[in-house]
Amino acid sequence: MMGNIRPRLLMWSYGGVFFTLLMGLICPLSHYGGELLWFGANLTGVVGAALLSSLTAWGCMGALWLCSTRVRPWAGKLLRVIVAWGILIIAADAVVIMVFDLRFCFRDAVAFGGSAREWRSFLSTGVSHMTPDFALALVLSTWTLASLPGFVWIQPRAVSNRMFAPSIAAAILGVGLGMAPASRDPVRRFAVGSIWELMIRDTIGRRYSDAFKAEVANRAAARRASVFIKSPPAEPRRPDIVLLVIESWSNYQSRFFGGRRDWTPELDGAASRGLAFTNCIANGFTTEDGLIAILTGEEPIMPATATQGVLLDCFAGFIGAERGLPRLLAPAGYKCYFFTNGPLEFSGKDRFLDSIAFDYLNDTRDPFYRHRPDGTPWQQGCFGTSDEALYARVRLRLKEVRALRESGREREPVLAFLETTSSHLPLVCPTGPPHTEERVMRYVDRAAGEFIRSLEEDGFFKSGGLLVTVSDHRAMLPLNRDELPDFGATAPWRVPLFLLADWLPRRGSDGRFVNQTDIAPTLEWLVTGSTPAAGRRGILLNPKPLESSFIGARVATDRSSTAVWDTRTGAAGTIRWNGDRSSATAGLEDALLWLTWERIQREGRNRAMPDTLAPLVHARWISSPSAASARD
């Protein structure tokens, strides 16, 4: 009986391995193939690049497996354990593509891993709102995990001498073809490259030498006058500020911001009444990137470091940023709140926000997010309570602030920073199926529109309040066919941005080339009347149309590359971070110099994320509607 089970189990296990290797080739092609073709690549080039990249991994694992059949059983198991790790990485890449439309990176897996509670919630939501991609991801994960024990433990029959040498030669040939330095342009490497190749090419952590640092400092000092932007003094005002960051809102989803879809009419209507920037660039492709850019006025380019552990922290190099938005507003007496309907412990956001001096933090741990005021439960999205609950929570706090002012107990202006989550991947519409991108964005738009109307009803704008609305990044989805003709090379980073207030000196569409890092210096200029250390950043409300000297944006799934635009000369291209040997596209020499100098300055903050169990240093949690009031 055992003799019959063994070959069947071996066949089933190897079937799971083969399925994983096949999906590791098919998934990048199926999700990114169309995008590559729209960028001008030919079909043969796309498929050929994917096959060659996969041959590297397949050849390495095939050679190890062949050797495992001709050694002692314990040594064979050890070799197959190594192969199993490779198969797991390929499976993880395929699953991440299917669920999140991104490529897998083990550093991101550690940084974004989250807690067991978050994963239980994610799996529960995914199973209850099963989509074909999620179902296939579950099948692949289950089959891979179930097949690997048999693959490792059962010793296969030794490959005959006649077949062993040609098989090893074929495996070596596959590795060589996959590693060949031949150009495969215009195919974008992250889309069809081997997952192993993508992770090995990470060179952003290479340190600069002391001699190189000194040279960069001298050259940057000489170029300072041509880089720094001088904004004229302004008459300061101290409005209450609501800074609304909408998850994944993208230009292509908005008719007003140049897209061909009309999924966000409420937000479009609000933008049309204010000052809207139709050519705004997100400086990264994750929420953490967006928070860094918006809250510190710096591109989310981590400092050079040889410490692998630091690379696992999303906010490495930005902990305690000197020009964090709360610190810029402090001279004007602002109290700063951060609200989100997601978990702030996810990727250590709470520690980052505490380090840049937010006064109050609020997330799904607040009992308010469990039930509506009438006792009925809030609708749920993938990451927790829906956006409606977040808006209701913020509105309640603003009402409390107004009541405190009327009683004479509070006079300070407030900054309320809102981070939504309902449009985060995987897409789950809080109002129920079908869970399509359009339905999710229409829900997000309705909730945001109702919130903006509630601010009007509550007298927020009549009392001088300012609403700043922006996306944290473009949707984490492959580019649509129409985005390149509509937005050109900036399409992967194009996001909406608008300001709304009764006192705005000008309104309408503004086509200046701006980015998320311009928001913090703009608010500093507004409330203090000057920007003494804004450097090369632009001022959105400046009467003169001054733009940032350079704009940098992280390239998706390749942290060692940064897309850069020099707004003074019109030069555009890419910087490749590689220590002293970092390089840039012709015409971006000034941008490379200055961004390198800024990275070097950032090394002084180069420390890992604070202990997640340590108490907050500056901020306090708002755990109930009256908690902040009690402190006041």
- The three-class DSSP label of residue 79 is helix
Quick check: 571 pLDDT over 50? yes
Quick check: 462 pLDDT over 90? yes
Quote the pLDDT of residue 631. Answer: 40
Mean pLDDT of the chain: 87
255 DSSP 8-state letter: T
CA–CA separation, 519 and 498 (whole Å): 11
Residues 283 and 289: beta-carbon distance below 8 Å: yes
Strand 494-500 and strand 275-281: the pairing is antiparallel
CA–CA separation, 502 and 493 (whole Å): 30
Quote the pLDDT of residue 310. Answer: 44
Within a domain: 48: yes
Residues 483 and 445 placed together within one structural domain of the fold? yes
Quick check: 206 pLDDT over 70? yes
Which residue in 257, 320, 327, 325 sits closest to 470, CA to CA? 257
Report the predicted TM-score, pTM, of the whole model to 2 decimal places.
0.87
pLDDT band at residue 231 under the 50/70/90 scheme: confident
Residues 519 and 558 placed together within one structural domain of the fold? yes
Instruction: State phi, psi for 572 to the nearest 5 degrees.
Output: -145, 150
Q: How many residues are recorded in the chain?
A: 632
DSSP class per residue in 439-455: HHHHHHHHHHHHHHHHH
Quote the pLDDT of residue 545. Answer: 65
Highest-confidence range of 184-188, 269-273, 349-353, by mean pLDDT?
269-273
Position 452, amino acid: I
More confident site: 36 or 234:
234
Which residue in 6, 356, 324, 47 sits closest to 187, CA to CA? 47
Residues 231 and 141 placed together within one structural domain of the fold? no
CA–CA separation, 515 and 289 (whole Å): 12
Quote the pLDDT of residue 122. Answer: 66
Helical H runs in 480-518?
Answer: 483-487
Highest-confidence range of 114-123, 221-230, 305-314, by mean pLDDT?
221-230
More confident site: 346 or 602:
602
What residues pair up with 337 in beta bridges, in sequence order? 360, 416
For 451-480, what is the mean pLDDT? 95
Residues 451 and 500: beta-carbon distance below 8 Å: no
Tokens of 126: 């995914």
CA–CA separation, 147 and 150 (whole Å): 6
Residues 176 and 256 placed together within one structural domain of the fold? no
Number of independent structural domains in the chain = 2
Quick check: 185 pLDDT over 50? no
Instruction: State phi, psi for 406 to the nearest 5 degrees.
Output: -65, -30
Quick check: 548 pLDDT over 60? yes
- The three-class DSSP label of residue 161 is helix
Could you report the per-residue pLDDT of 4-20, keeping only the tens digit for each? 677 788 889 999 999 99
For 559-573, what is the mean pLDDT? 90
Quick check: 238 pLDDT over 80? yes
Within a domain: 242: yes
Could you report the per-residue pLDDT of 522-543, keeping only the tens digit for each? 999 999 988 877 788 889 998 7
Position 169, amino acid: A
Beta strands in 375-489 (DSSP E): 380-381, 384-385, 414-419, 466-471
Sheet holding 558-566, edge to edge: 550-555, 558-566, 572-576, 583-584
Residues 300 and 292: beta-carbon distance below 8 Å: yes
CA–CA separation, 207 and 7 (whole Å): 52
Which helix H or strand E contains 582, and what residues bound it? none
Residues 334 and 474 placed together within one structural domain of the fold? yes
CA–CA separation, 347 and 114 (whole Å): 7
Within a domain: 211: no
Residues 474 and 618 placed together within one structural domain of the fold? yes
Quote the pLDDT of residue 13. Answer: 92
Residues 406 and 552 placed together within one structural domain of the fold? yes
CA–CA separation, 569 and 550 (whole Å): 10
For the chain, first and last CA: distance in Å?
76
Residues 477 and 595 placed together within one structural domain of the fold? yes
- Among 317-321, 477-481, 580-584, which stretch is predicted with the lowest mean pLDDT? 477-481
Quote the pLDDT of residue 494. Answer: 97
CA–CA separation, 187 and 33 (whole Å): 10
Within a domain: 141: yes
CA–CA separation, 275 and 257 (whole Å): 12
Residues 193 and 243 placed together within one structural domain of the fold? no
Within a domain: 210: no
CA–CA separation, 452 and 467 (whole Å): 9
What residues pair up with 368 in beta bridges, in sequence order? none
Contacts of 347 (CB under 8 A, 6+ apart): 111, 112, 114, 288, 314, 315
489 DSSP 8-state letter: G
CA–CA separation, 306 and 606 (whole Å): 11
Quote the pLDDT of residue 373. Answer: 86
Quick check: 126 pLDDT over 80? no
Can you give the CATH number for the domain in which 482 is found?
3.40.720.10
Residues 239 and 188 placed together within one structural domain of the fold? no
For 611-628, what is the mean pLDDT? 73
Which residue in 436, 434, 400 sits closest to 416, CA to CA? 400
For 297-314, what is the mean pLDDT? 71
Tokens of 151: 């693959």
Look up the domain containing 488 and give its range: 222-631
Percent of the chain's residues with pLDDT above 70: 89
Residues 419 and 512 placed together within one structural domain of the fold? yes
Within a domain: 368: yes
**Nearest-5° angle of CA 99, CA 100, CA 104?**
105
CA–CA separation, 373 and 163 (whole Å): 73
Residues 148 and 257 placed together within one structural domain of the fold? no
Within a domain: 205: no
Quick check: 612 pLDDT over 80? no
CA–CA separation, 161 and 145 (whole Å): 32
Residue with tokens 């399509």: 436
Quote the pLDDT of residue 293. Answer: 97
CA–CA separation, 534 and 217 (whole Å): 18
Highest-confidence range of 81-85, 167-171, 539-543, 608-612, by mean pLDDT?
81-85
Quote the pLDDT of residue 181. Answer: 60
Within a domain: 581: yes
**Integer CA distances (angstroms), 358 to 325, 480, 619, in order:** 9, 38, 6
For 470-485, what is the mean pLDDT? 91
